[in-house]
A and B are shown apart, each in its own frame.
Chain A
Amino acid sequence: MLSTFGDSLALLTSVEAILTLILGTMLGIILGALPGIGSTVAVAIILPFTLGMSQAPAVLLLLAVYAGSVYGGSISAILINTPGTPQSAATTFDGYPMAQRGEAGRALGWATMASVAGGIVSVLLLILAAPQLARLALNFGPIETFGLLLLGLTCIVAVSSGDMIKGLIAGALGLLLAMVGGDPITGTPRFTFGDFRLIAGFDLLAIVIGVFALSEVLLRVSEKLSGTAEFVSFKGIVLPRLAEWKGRLKGLAKSIALGCGIGVLPGTGAATAAFVSYAEARRSSPNSGNFGKGEPDGIIASEGANNAVTGGALVPTMALGIPGDAVTAVMLATLTLHGITPGVRLMQDNPTLIGAIFAGLMVINLLLLPLGMLASAMAAPLLRMREAFMLTAITLLCFVGVYFVRGNPFDLWVMVAAGISGFILRRQGFPMAPLVIGMVLGPTLEMTLRQGLIITNGSFGAFFASPIAATLIVIAIATLCWPLLSAARGRFRSRRGA
């Protein structure tokens, strides 16, 4: 055991490995922060370079870019209200309001600390309990996943406190957008209106970039430009003081637990984890009244959860040889290429390599702190650019990023259309976050609902036969109905009062 550990460390302490970790993490942070270039594109950019490397550095490079990009997405989410990756969308809810208040540095500080904590705890969990967790996840069939996603949907209520109806409309629109394309069960095209280019459906990132980044550009252009003022006031990360964590640690622990748990389940992912965690934090946080107005608890919930997914997603990958998401699938394939057979025996057969991967992940997560500060320091002068340059550069980057998501020129049209529609909707006070939530959760929600119906031979009642699913569904319905009821009661009261 100890000698294995020594060998693992030896793999990590080579100059090649250390450079790989630092450069990979930095590159991941930068790519993740650029609007449009999500984790998958970041990994795609880096993949060709891993082919010529030896085993451990190749896998570590991918992991570093992956973890770095998940964190990097939060930088642009907070500073320019544009989630660099879909999983950072929930970070914009409170991160950007803080930045607008001139507290961008503090917002990034919270995001960084939550990310590092989430990443490290999830790696520890991966090291200590991967086989047990993987077994546990097997209890989560389509029906239980459906319950979980329904709970995730209630996040729509949580993020549309301003105007509930408009938030719900945006959420339903997101679900609708996700349906365009081939039906997941039968393959029949839906809402394609005979245009074959729609068969592949709308790409999530193209829509996210459109409704967040391009519509933001259009909104700013439609307002009176400040000729000289900074884009946002930002001088670098300000880490939260120890005393400020008081009362927030419970929320952090809960969001990390949610992130780990959801990461372990196949086919859900970091964006789902961030949304579910945000909804839960808003329900239970002592500061829930400030959510959406720049509340650190909201940033902690989103960033703690989405970084915890990185370790969680590796649990089924390492313990069962089943990839937890698209990025871990790439990693499994890379292992295969380097002559390692992924699968149930992976951990027993290659203890040295796995040890190095675990230790490397630890280092990567620790590196997020200094490298995140470095990347933010680099971003700070960019943000002092005049707004005109900033807006033009963001637009150019959006086109580049979305072009690379899946190499499909049609996605550019989708992005522009989403941008213009997003502009029109946002002018009328429709929040865009629920739309993204609907689009992220929609496909899997529908899939698991219909899978469940196939398994139970078409019985809706059978969904409640599973205790896990029944509990989740009941909580979801309660969460969904409660604010509606209280809002109706409030309106009734105020009308009687007036």
Chain B
Amino acid sequence: MTALFERAGVTLALFLASGAMMASIGWRDTTGMPPAFSPEFFPRIVLSVLLVLTALGLALELARKGGSSGGQILRAAVLAAAMVAFAWAMTRLGFFLTGAGFSVLALLLLGLRNPLVIGAFALGVPGALVGLFNHVLIMPLPTSPFSHMF
């Protein structure tokens, strides 16, 4: 049941999203502009195709049985959340601090426990990147509010 829910849910979400986008530009052209000058001309074609395809896909998903689900979804979800945090923090705390923090979390999540190894990687790899881009190539990555050196 959960497998079907996930399978059909994805296609249903795509179907609804394309419907909503179609609604946002209007189902048919009311401006009377020639197609070449109408910004909605090409999107309308693609969205119509997408609506038909997702409807078809949805029907097929509902008819089909089985499918894969599960796996270490929680672990992937935590890492995905860490990536979101990375994108948020990189421009605020700088690449080095964010990268080091992310590395520690990712390595712990992936089953590493040796603090020396984790520490060496988390400081070494982001540190090397910051050294290379900020100080050798002078193409700086974002720096932290504490020092413009990293």
Contacts and interface: CB of A to CB of B under 8 A. Distances in A.
Chain B interface, >50% SS class:
helix
A403 B90 contact: yes
A interface, over-half SS: helix
B133 interface: yes
A415 B83 CA distance: 10
Interface stretch (A274-282, A313-321, A445-453): A445-453
A139 to B, nearest CB: 22
Interface string A162-188: 000110110011011001000101101
Contact of A428 (B6, B37, B54): B6
A469 to B, nearest CB: 16
A128 to B, nearest CB: 38
A176 B43 contact: yes
Size class of the A contact interface (CB-based, 8 Å): 35 or more
B79 A221 contact: yes
B39 A186 contact: yes
A399 interface: yes
B125 A393 contact: yes
A427 B5 CA distance: 13
B95 A399 contact: yes
B111 A412 contact: no
A391 interface: yes
A387 interface: yes
In this complex, the member of A169, A193, A416, A430 whose beta carbon has the largest number of chain B beta carbons within 10 angstroms is: A169
Contacts of B25: 190
Contacts of B6: 427-428
A312 B40 CA distance: 34
8 contacts: A168-B53, A169-B11, A172-B50, A173-B14, A176-B50, A186-B39, A191-B24, A450-B42
Given A219-B76, A222-B72, A222-B75, 19 more contacts: A45-B139, A165-B56, A166-B57, A168-B49, A172-B46, A176-B47, A179-B46, A221-B75, A223-B72, A388-B110, A392-B102, A392-B125, A395-B102, A396-B125, A399-B90, A415-B87, A428-B67, A453-B35, A458-B34
List of 7 A-B pairs having minimum Cβ-Cβ separation, nearest first: A388-B110, A453-B36, A222-B76, A183-B39, A412-B87, A172-B50, A446-B42
